[in-house]
Amino acid sequence: MHGRIEARLRDALRPSALAVINESHLHAGHQPHYDGTGETHMRVRIEAEAFSGMSRIARHRAVNDLLEAEFDAGLHALAVEPVAPGEPRRW
């Protein structure tokens, strides 16, 4: 899943910075049957020129739309931290 997410975002958005972080282990016990293994909770930190002029919501939608197949394949939660070049980052 991690590799597919990274490849899909690189191909579509050509980011200048990209980090895909598996945070599934942080959610162990979230539901009775979930032990935190696997790749169900991911964080994406991405800087791309494609985000210039887009609202924050539009950026999130663009990433979510690109990763629709991953949600269908078991991705449960996605935290997105998108920025355009030159914008301040929190990461």
DSSP element (H, E) containing 32: none
- DSSP 3-state of 23: coil
Complete domains list, the chain, with CATH: 2-83 (3.30.300.90)
Beta partners for 47? Answer: 17, 83
Neighbours of 46 (CB within 10 A): 23
Q: Report the distance separating Cα 40 and Cα 19, nearest Å.
A: 16
Residue 50 structure tokens: 């494609």
Residue 63 structure tokens: 């990433």
Q: Which tens digits make up the pLDDT trace of 26-85?
A: 655 565 565 556 677 899 999 999 999 999 999 999 999 999 999 999 888 899 999 999
Q: The pTM is what? A: 0.85
Q: What is the DSSP string of 50-74?
A: GGTT--HHHHHHHHHHHTHHHHHTT
